Chain A
Amino acid sequence: MKLDAAKLAARPQRLLRDGMIAAVARHPDKVALVIEGKSYTYAELLDAASRLAQALIQRGVKKGDRVAIYMDNTWPCVVSIYATLLAGAVFLVINPQTKADKLEFILDDSDAILLLTDVHLATVFSDAVKANTKLNGIISSGDLSQAALQLSMSVEAFDAVIEQSESLAEPVNIIPNDLAALIYTSGSTGFPKGVMQTHQAMVFAAWSLIEYQRLTEDHRIILVLPIAFDYGLYQLIMTMKLGATLIVERSFTFPAQVYKRIEEFGATVFPGVPTIFAMMISSHKKKPLRIPGITRITNTAAALPADFVPYLKEIFPNALIYKMYGLTECKRVSYLEPELVDAKLTSVGKAIPGTEMYLLTPEGQPVPPGETGILHVRGPHVMVGYWKQPELSAKMLKPGKLPGERVLCTQDWFRTDKEGFFYFVGRSDDIIKTRGEKVSPVEVENVLHSMPQIKEAAVIGVPDDVFGQSVKAFVALEKDAELNDKQIKKFCMAHLENYMVPKDIVFMEELPKTANGKIDKKLLMQGGA
């Protein structure tokens, strides 16, 4: 028996998977995904996902269980997400740059039942699962015969699992209040934390984004951002909700290939981050680049520098330019209407449709226009909390206007102008934003401290034209210890995602201290060290 998409599509869309099922019922043969140049229809996606869902259930996945997906932007990654949703389970997508220690932590913290991954990541995941007692097994895409896997748990081949599995007859029954995903994000404690998002929050957020970006099912979004990043993930979710087409690339590493795909498959929406736009602009300055087919470009993760806008208009002459701001805890906070991109050069705009944002003093009092305050966000898109972190959750979620309601206290400082547009002022934590990724200084410092030669270490973010901020480390070595910056970077590379590895390392006899003996980061930031 097969999943009856037509019957299921007659129901209201409450869950994350429902949009995809409705699209299958509407146009099974429409191309849902183009992945590295290969097209897949909606019917093919539902078929593969419902087989894999059945296989997940056979391997012990029950309603609400976590399924970890540690993959690049690939067909198996998309199939795994929708299979998990059909099985009524909770997915978490882990960035393929993640190294063994952190992968081990996330697998353990999430209590994942299954790990879905790819063979090219085998050396990392083999290490990460050595001490894991919670996983029932691993399913890996890629050619397993090439990998010398020595593991205590079973590793099955992704394609064979799907081929040998029957299709799920009926999606596992869950309700909109159930969790859909854990989205891990760097925290100031140095350990990543899982943002809990329910189906209703994610479905709501997806439609809000679709509304203000004015998207229809005829749009084709080109994805060069990792699906592990919620900005990337939502391109997939929006596409499936609309029944549109997503053109998926591994990354923006080879721009010419991306431009070729945009052309070949008629992409109309280009979601990017400032680093990507900076690369495009630098190449545009050498030799004019023109991509007329794109009608929407979006930017988030870091502020779009105002001087990028004229160049982006040259590169994308037909595109609406969207500046946006958000955080994983509520997916997205605000956007600026593209018609105002010149009039409100430095504003992040206003709340996304169906939500509210407002500023309060640290004491909880309203803030008049022009003054700075802490941004609060109210709406159905706000997370239910951090997975297994009640104290941290309580710090971010405050009681709202209505009984039981909770609003997100972002801890970020903003101000508004007379017309109610919001302007980012600063963060209240010391998280570094580099290449659009969040880096916790503590996490990098912990790795530095684990090198026996290092006596003291401090990590800060410094302004960088291309990266937004770049990671800079200050270290003091133990007496007589010998260590150069290359050795430190190599060690960091083995334990941290590439973007977390310090770009600059400064050696000091001793790090400067404040009166109460803590490392004086303010002084380091002022360059007064």
Chain B
Amino acid sequence: MSIEQKVRDYILDNYLFTDDQSALSNEDSFLNKGIIDSTGIMEVIFFLEEQFGIQVQDEEMVPENLDSVKNITSYIQRKQAAG
């Protein structure tokens, strides 16, 4: 399964409680859509660290890296390429 699909499934499953793929587009801002708030983001980070074997640094906790499926996917790809 692609990184993008894994992330999508995780968000759909844990925050939207559905497997309906149309409920979330890859560009949807988690903040704007009210999907994830400040406590939710910690869980997302635990998931990313465990699933993709990366370490999310505090300074990387910015919307450019984490505020949509698309942003997360390219962030993971960058991390894995660098790692």
Contacts and interface: CB of A to CB of B under 8 A. Distances in A.
B10 to A, nearest CB: 13
Interface in B40-68: 40-42, 57-63, 66-67
Given A120-B33, A253-B36, A254-B41, A486 B13 contact: yes
Interface string A265-303: 000000000011001001100110100000000000000
B83 interface: no
A259 B59 CA distance: 9
A287 B58 contact: yes
Given A275-B39, A486-B13, A97 B58 contact: no
Contacts of A283: 58
A435 interface: yes
A275 B42 CA distance: 11
Q: How many B residues touch the partner, as a band?
A: 20 to 34
A251 B16 contact: no
A250 B32 CA distance: 10
A279 B18 contact: no
B33 to A, nearest CB: 7
A255 interface: yes
B13 A254 contact: no
A224 B31 CA distance: 13
B27 interface: no
B38 interface: yes
Contact of A435 (B17, B34, B39): B39
Interface in A239-270: 250-257, 259-260
B73 to A, nearest CB: 17
B7 to A, nearest CB: 17
Among A224, A282, A498, chain B packs the most CB atoms within 10 A around the CB of A498
Contact of B18 (A96, A255, A259, A490): A490
B37 A255 contact: no
A253 B17 contact: no
Contacts, number: 65
Contacts of A224: 38
Contact of A253 (B16, B37, B57, B59): B37
A526 interface: no
A256 B34 contact: no
A251 B38 CA distance: 7
B61 A251 contact: no
B37 A254 contact: no
Interface in A90-118: 96-97
A493 interface: yes
Contacts of B36: 253
B39 A466 contact: yes
A286 B45 CA distance: 14
Contacts of A254: 41, 61-63, 66-67
Contact of A256 (B17, B31, B40, B59): B59
Interface in A214-237: 224
Contacts of A287: 57-58
A486 B58 CA distance: 31
Given A252-B38, A486-B17, A120 B32 contact: yes
B39 A467 contact: yes
Contacts of B31: 250-251, 253
A493 B36 CA distance: 12
A287 B58 CA distance: 8
A29 B54 CA distance: 46
Given A97-B34, A254-B67, A486-B13, A289 B41 contact: no
A453 to B, nearest CB: 15
Contacts of A428: none
Nearest to A255: B61
B54 to A, nearest CB: 14
A137 to B, nearest CB: 24
A119 to B, nearest CB: 10
Among B16, B30, B33, B58, chain A packs the most CB atoms within 10 A around the CB of B58
Contacts of B42: 279, 282
Interface string A321-362: 000000000000000000000000000000000000000000
Nearest to B18: A490
Nearest to A118: B32
A450 interface: no
A58 interface: no
A256 B38 contact: no
B34 A489 contact: no
A301 to B, nearest CB: 13
A96 B29 CA distance: 15
Contacts of A514: none
A97 B30 CA distance: 12
Given A256-B60, A287-B58, A498 B13 contact: no
Contacts of A365: none
A251 to B, nearest CB: 5
Nearest to B33: A120
A133 interface: no
9 contacts: A120-B33, A253-B37, A256-B58, A256-B61, A257-B61, A279-B38, A435-B39, A490-B16, A493-B16
5 closest cross-chain pairs (CB), A and B? A490-B17, A252-B38, A256-B61, A253-B38, A489-B17
Given A224-B38, A257-B62, 15 more contacts: A97-B37, A252-B38, A253-B37, A254-B41, A279-B39, A279-B42, A286-B58, A467-B39, A486-B13, A486-B17, A490-B16, A490-B18, A493-B17, A498-B37, A498-B40
